[in-house]
Amino acid sequence: MFKTILPLKGIGSVGANGDPNGDPGITNQITIPNAKNENQAAILSAFRENPAMTTCELAAKIGITNRNIKQNIKALKDAGLLERVGTNRKGQWIVKG
């Protein structure tokens, strides 16, 4: 299992104890412990931001092939971390992890 840390954009820096002048590298990040690799962590993070994102948009955002996106989505669905609700055209992704 990989532990992936992704920086949050647009969030002010605060220290570990809530001090606004503290270390910005600690609480200015999100950890996704259930993802098995960096691509899966990026997929989960992207679907949290935009649940209606298509696999083509996701591939362009992350920088991997559409086929690789689909393989990672299948693995995340099999692991119970991701669910598709609605139709292929109008549906949304639900992140469970």
Give dist(CA 57, CA 27) in Å, integer: 28
**pLDDT band of 13, cuts 50, 70, 90:** very low
DSSP 73: H
| Residue 39 confidence (pLDDT) above 70 | yes
Cα 62 from chain centroid?
10
The domains found in the chain, sorted by start residue, are 4-95 (1.10.10.10)
Mean pLDDT across 2-7: 54
Q: Is the separation of the CB atoms in 33 and 3 below 8 Å?
A: yes
Alpha-carbon distance values, 55 to 49, 73, 81, 97 (Å): 14, 9, 17, 19
Report pTM. 0.65
User: What integer best gives the mean pLDDT of the chain?
Assistant: 78
Mean pLDDT across 66-83: 95
